[in-house]
A and B are shown apart, each in its own frame.
Chain A
Amino acid sequence: MTRKAPTRIAAAVLSSLGGGVVPRVGLEYITVGRQAEIHALLRDVEQIAQGGAAFRFLVGQYGAGKSFLLQTMRNHVMEKGFIVLDCDLTPQRRFCGSRGQGAATYQELVRNLSTRTKPDGGALPLLLDRWAAAISKEQLPATLQAMQEQVHGFDFSIALQKYWQAFHGSDDDTQARVLRWLRGEYTTKTAAKQAIGINLIVNDDNWYDFLKLLAGFAVQAGYAGMLVMVDELVNLFRIPHRPTRQCNYEKLLSMYNDALQGKAQHIGFIMGVTPQALEDSDKGLFSYDALRSRLAEGRFASTGVRDLLAPVIRLAPLSDEELLVLCEKLAALHAQLYDYQNSVTPEEIAQFLQLEFARMGAAQHITPREVIRDFIELLNLAYQSSGTRVADILAGGDFVFAQTAQEDGVEADFAEFEV
């Protein structure tokens, strides 16, 4: 039986996809293909739940479905009892930098900390409250001792102890101060010392240690583990200054080593990256030899045979049939949302796809994002002009296709180029 999406989810999905962005909810209802990739990631999830760690790079062009897959996994693992931290890298948020860019990434990750019950982020207070409520006074020392073995674990456990005392003593002020410290919002050690008596703050050097501590803490609070999702890794590739770029890659390498050498527990990383940002030997991840030797495909991988147990998962393009079924699902959602009888036939969708991919440069530039945007626009047009079928609009020739990322970026010098 086909699962029917709730109406508000259908609305969110269609409005997000129509705008070219990946919705935060409802992706399960339109997932088509990607079975192998999803199963590979689900295996990682099981591994993390059992106390292991995982590190994956999702590699695909802009619009190929990296963010889609990340969001799908995010929603799924939250339902499975994980906490999820996610963020997009930007010029202000990197793995390390001289102006606190690493700490900014940590702050963003913690701000977006989500659980099943708080899927929109901001779940750290809930996590702490839940832990504090579940731990008795007798259990507290043993619980904290387990954390003290890790790097910065002693300070972390002091903060938790203060939170526990404040929680049971209804001291909202202290709770807020500890929360602020855990979020990495104190910028000086002096301020942190004055606020909660801890002479340590989250900074560019130690934020990853705090992530590992958070993962262990989440498990103590009753969650299955922690998944960290970082998208737009291309921003590291775009760093113009080589030493800074290399420094970021070094940090990435240390996280990667930690995860795969078994030094980190109950934590998984999924990173979204474009092929160029990965493979460019001058500025990409592969410019850092240690990363290249770890991430480059082996000698035996070839077209058609993919190693989905390798740290790099390359998103295979959706087949024509998969795109058609995806469009079918979108048409059904559209009909459900606007309450009309869905009459779009597979033949009409096939005609749409034929037109879509007959465009010049389609082989290089048309991704699922463009296909989806165009199709939703088509559905909107058909719905607004009642009685008009999708095939009629396509045959009319007035339909304008979505602009691809490449087309958007045409340089001014070539915009009016004439032969």
Chain B
Amino acid sequence: MNDLRATVLQNLAPLLAWHNLPAGAFEPSTSHQSLHAAGWLTHALHSAQCELAGTSPPRDIHQHREKWLTHSPQAREFTQDQRTHEIILQVLQGHTQSPTAQEIARQLQQEPYLTLRKLQRQQPFSACTLKQLRAYLAWQAQLQTGNVRRVAFELALLHITHLHMQQDIEALQNFLQLYGPYDRSIAKRLINLLRARGVVAQLPERVKPQPVLPPAPPAPEPRKPVDIDFTQLAGIRSQAEEMTELLLVDDEPVGADANPPDPSIELHSTLSQSLAQEQIRTVNAILAGGSASELDIDAINEIAWQVIGDNLIEDGQLIQEYINAWKEGSL
């Protein structure tokens, strides 16, 4: 695993830079999933580059990828996108009832890295697929989001790889036309690929993409200056008191005895509020050094504390010690 991580990280820096991603976007210590995605991305890039250069992809990365796929706990997360996978499969296989390219595009936009992985596993595409994928790529090229466009470009490279279209100069020229105006690095790569095939291409004029910003939230209404209506205060105070009464529950605790024994000591004379029967029973039991259960002890509320304080000891700490000692059975 450490080797794998090292391999991924080694490839990560140029990859991040190439994808215009902030450093730490795939921080392995904080996001295993991101590392996972980075692994795929690295592999996709390597595979495409190696295929285009006519060499084999690095064997160790390939092996690691398979191992990762088999054992990764993240595999489950990818299954949620089963529907996307099915859609892509349908389209790539040239299914007659397949959804539109825009629908796939929408799905792919949500799961670009996953899509890369899935496409890598596809068999060579059919002519129908090629047409649809081209439609998708054309649509993607117009998107202003850099990452999506770059992923689309990755798709394009994979597309060439799978079709064994190293000689498809027309396709490369189409891609250059699609992506070149938006992304200089993609354009340069395509020009190099064309040059390797003996075609000289011009760097297209640059079009600066306009970022697609979400609609601005409506401006909050300016707050009115504080203007207290003193006539309302009495009503609000009274409502607040009602709410306090509502929220403070004086009912018997759950499980209290329906017919508790009468208190042997008259406690109400010292209190401004009445005690619940179980509290009275608890206090009596404690005062008598008696046999209240642990639950009863826990049921002592504020009022009961006051009563114990009045009757036994004055210091709260001592009361707690007394209770603890009683619970442990040392009294």
Minimum CB–CB distance from A60 to chain B (whole Å) comes to 14
B298 lies within 8 A of A126 (CB): yes
Q: How far is the CB of A29 from chain B (nearest CB, A)?
A: 6
B16 at the A interface (CB under 8 A):
no
From the candidates A117, A246, A324, name the one contacting B299 in the complex (CB within 8 A).
A117
* Distance, CA A4 to CA B255, complexed state (A): 28
Residue of A nearest to B25 (CB): A240
Is A320 interfacial (CB-CB < 8 Å)? yes
- B220 with A363: CB separation less than 8 A: yes
Give B residues with C-beta under 8 Å from A. 25, 30-34, 37, 73-74, 77-78, 80-81, 110-111, 114, 214, 220-223, 225-230, 232-233, 236-237, 239-241, 243-249, 251, 253-255, 294-295, 298-299, 302, 306, 316
In the complex formed, the residue of A with least CB distance to B215 is A281
Shortest distance between the CB of A201 and any CB in chain B (Å): 15
The 3 closest A-B pairs by CB, nearest first: A117-B298, A81-B254, A79-B249
Given the interface pairs A99-B32, A224-B254, the reply to whether A346 lies near B245 with Cβ below 8 Å is no
Q: How far is the CB of B198 from chain A (nearest CB, A)?
A: 42
Say whether A322 contacts B228, CB under 8 Å: no
Write the A311-353 contact mask toward B (1 if CB under 8 angstroms, else 0). 0000000001110110011000000000000000010001001
A242 at the A/B interface (Cβ < 8 Å)? yes
Interface centre among A3, A129, A322, A325 (most CB of B within 10 A): A325
Q: How far is the CA of A32 from the CA of B232 in the complex (A)?
A: 13
Docked-complex contact A321 and B73, CB < 8 angstroms: no
A150 contacts B by Cβ under 8 Å: no
Question: Which B residue sits closest to A78, measured CB to CB?
Answer: B249
CB of A21 within 8 Å of the partner chain: no
Complex contact A241–B33 (CB within 8 A): yes
Report yes or no: B73 in contact with A98, Cβ–Cβ below 8 A. yes
Give complex CA distance A322, B111 in Å: 48
Inter-chain contact A322/B34, CB cutoff 8 Å? no
Return chain B residues, CB-CB under 8 Å to A329: 240
Chosen A-B contacts, 25 in total, with CB atoms closer than 8 Å, are A28-B248, A31-B247, A35-B239, A72-B247, A75-B247, A81-B254, A91-B30, A116-B253, A126-B298, A223-B254, A241-B37, A243-B33, A243-B111, A244-B33, A320-B226, A321-B228, A321-B232, A324-B233, A346-B228, A356-B226, A357-B225, A357-B226, A358-B226, A363-B220, A363-B221
- Docked Cα-Cα span, A320 to B241, in Å, equals 18
- Whether B240 lies near A354 (C-beta < 8 A) is no
Q: Could you say which residues of chain A place their CB within 8 Å of the CB of B244?
A: 3, 28-29, 31
A78 CB, min distance to chain B CBs, angstroms: 9
Q: Is the pair B255, A320 in contact by a Cβ cutoff of 8 Å?
A: no
**Least Cβ distance of B176 to chain A in Å?**
30
> What residues on A are CB-neighbors of B245 within 8 Å?
3
Q: Which residues of A contact B239 (CB under 8 A)?
A: 33, 35
Q: Is there contact, CB below 8 Å, between B251 and A79? A: yes
In the complex, the answer to whether A247 meets B299 with C-beta atoms within 8 Å is no
Which chain A residues (118-134) contact chain B, with CB distance < 8 Å? 118, 126, 129-130, 134
Knowing A28-B247, A32-B240, A130-B295, the reply to whether A346 touches B221 (Cβ < 8 A) is no
The yes or no answer to A262 lying at the interface (CB within 8 A) is no
B243 surroundings in chain A (CB, below 8 A) = 28, 31-32, 34-35, 38
* Minimum Cβ distance to chain A for residue B248 (Å): 5
Partner of B233 from A28, A126, A346 at Cβ < 8 Å: A346
* Contacting pair A346 B230 (CB below 8 A): yes
Task: Say yes or no: A244-B77 contact (C-beta < 8 A), given A32-B236, A357-B223.
Answer: yes
Q: Does A364 contact B (CB under 8 A)?
A: yes
Docked pose: A328 CA to B237 CA in angstroms: 9
Chain A 61-83 interface mask (CB, 8 Å, partner B; 1/0):
00000000000100110011100
Question: B77: which A residues are within 8 A, CB to CB?
Answer: 98, 243-244, 247
- Please state if A98 and B33 are interface contacts (CB–CB under 8 Å): yes
CA distance A99 to B73 in the complex (A): 8
